[in-house]
Amino acid sequence: MSSPSNLAELDLADLESAFAARSVERFRARQVFAWIYKRGVTDIEAMTDLPRDLRAALLADFTIATPQVASHERSSDGTEKFLLKLADGKHIESVFIPDTPAMTFCISTQVGCAMACAFCLTGKMGLVRNLTAGEIAGQVRVLAGALELRDKAFNIVLMGMGEPLHNYDAVMKAMSILCDTHGFHLPPRRVTLSTVGLLPALEKLGREELMPNLAISLHAPTDAQRGELVPINRKYGVADIIAACKQFPVRRRSRITFEYVMLAGVNDSADDARKLARLLAGVKAKVNLIPLNAAAGIPFERPADDVVDRFARVLAEQDVTVSVRKSRGRDIRAACGQLIVEGPEHSPAQKLATLAFD
């Protein structure tokens, strides 16, 4: 939970202000920040380059909350799934995907989700609560520590549970924490934010200094189809999303990823592919096809491989850059659509929560 005494909720500027209010020198804030993020130390007593009396004063005023690993599973393909318990007992999942092509952490931004996408069990939970900035950045701390990757380059995709733009301020503050040169020093281009397209927040995102890469969860080329799959489409339609993407300040040599969950007989025809190619004309786009990982409670089927191949071929023939997402971690239910949170706070029906596509 967010608390003024929890150092994990503070970016460096906040930490400097908190220390200044206690007449502690600014460089001490940078030292503490580096202990937490560079060295993974959350015991203030162990921050040995701080004077003993300062450590005692900090211990009296501050805590450093860290999500706890409730379980950790490793897939035969190297994917690792972490079930993390938060301070209030809620659970979230984070996934490590080893070669995608870099090492990638898939991070959650909310407990549950309000977007109610038809193919996503997280959406069936509804929104339980937003994660705090410290809980979002804390997932990275936990995974980097557990996997001994703190000193290595890794990517982050905000594609776990939740819609990141529905928790905008916490996500941007987590960016500020993670990208700080005194901490992980994560370049924003190593972060990808995936959204259903909450347009006011998307426009705001385009003006951010710490701007992540953008992925749009499109999933259908027309309002009629997308409205059935992604209910928010009734508010922010396909044409408006594409117009916003054309305005979005995409980095040089970069593209917006359009995620497209393939559902048998729903959005997987050659005609759908042609419509999608027409829709994306003039957008710096690449399409990521995600054949559904069928799961109990999801009322859709995975298309046959030749249907997926045909869809990809039609896009490629129209000069659309396309890839098919390789399913990872299916044996530990860590693939997209397969993560399951079984927290004590949920009813049996709510015990299912998939790793979402956003």
Asked whether position 93 contacts ligand SF4 by CB under 6 A, the answer is no
Which residues, 6 or more positions from 337, have their beta carbon under 8 angstroms from its beta carbon?
A: 119, 120, 121, 261, 292, 293, 294, 295, 298, 354, 355, 357
Largest pairwise CA distance in the chain? 70
Query: Per-residue string for binding with ligand SF4, 174-203, x by CB under 6 A?
Result: ----------------------x-------
- Which of 41, 57, 70, 116 binds ligand SF4 (CB under 6 A)? It is 116
Given the residues 106, 113, 120, 336, select the one marked as catalytic.
336
Given the residues 93, 135, 163, 259, select the one marked as catalytic.
93
94 burial type by CB count under 10 A (0-12 exposed, 13-18 middle, 19+ buried): buried
Question: Of the two residues 62 and 357, which places its CB atom closer to ligand SF4 in the complex?
Answer: 357
d(CA 105, CA 97): 6
Question: Of the two residues 65 and 261, which places its CB atom closer to ligand SF4 in the complex?
Answer: 261
- Which of 113, 178, 256, 285 binds ligand SF4 (CB under 6 A)? It is 113
Q: How far is the CB of 124 from ligand SF4 (least distance, A)?
A: 8
Q: How many CB atoms lie within 10 A of CB 235?
A: 11
- Which of 163, 180, 268, 272 binds ligand SF4 (CB under 6 A)? It is 163
d(CA 299, CA 285): 29
d(CA 136, CA 98): 20
Asked whether position 358 contacts ligand SF4 by CB under 6 A, the answer is yes
Query: Per-residue string for binding with ligand SF4, 237-256, x by CB under 6 A?
Result: --------------------
d(CA 159, CA 194): 6
Question: In 3D, which of 287, 275, 274, 166 has the Cα closest to residue 215?
Answer: 287
Pairing of strands 80-85, 91-97: antiparallel
106 flagged as catalytic = no
Helix ranges, 248-346 (H): 270-279, 305-317
Q: Among residue numbers 60 through 79, which ones bind ligand SF4 (CB under 6 A)?
A: none
Q: How far is the CB of 315 from ligand SF4 (least distance, A)?
A: 22
Residue 215 per-residue DSSP state: E
Asked whether position 300 contacts ligand SF4 by CB under 6 A, the answer is no
**How is 238-276 classified by DSSP, letter by letter?**
HHHHHHHHHHS-PPTT--EEEEEEE-TTTS-SHHHHHHH
Q: How far is the CB of 297 from ligand SF4 (least distance, A)?
A: 12
Asked whether position 298 contacts ligand SF4 by CB under 6 A, the answer is no
Q: Among residue numbers 17 through 56, which ones bind ligand SF4 (CB under 6 A)?
A: none
93 flagged as catalytic = yes
Q: How far is the CB of 233 from ligand SF4 (least distance, A)?
A: 11
d(CA 174, CA 4): 16
Q: How far is the CB of 123 from ligand SF4 (least distance, A)?
A: 3
Binding segment for ligand SF4 (CB under 6 A), chosen from 91-99, 159-167, 170-178, 263-271, is 159-167
The helix or strand, by DSSP H or E, that contains position 169, with its residue range, turns out to be: helix 168-179
Residue 193 per-residue DSSP state: E
- Which of 134, 138, 162, 183 binds ligand SF4 (CB under 6 A)? It is 162
Asked whether position 292 contacts ligand SF4 by CB under 6 A, the answer is no
Question: Of the two residues 165 and 280, which places its CB atom closer to ligand SF4 in the complex?
Answer: 165
Peptide bond into 101 cis (omega under 30): yes
| Binding-residue total with ligand SF4 (CB under 6 A) | 14
Question: Of the two residues 66 and 267, which places its CB atom closer to ligand SF4 in the complex?
Answer: 267
- Which of 64, 92, 106, 117 binds ligand SF4 (CB under 6 A)? It is 117
d(CA 98, CA 127): 29
Catalytic residues: 93, 336
- Contacts to ligand SF4 by CB under 6 A: 113, 115-117, 120, 122-123, 161-163, 196, 356-358
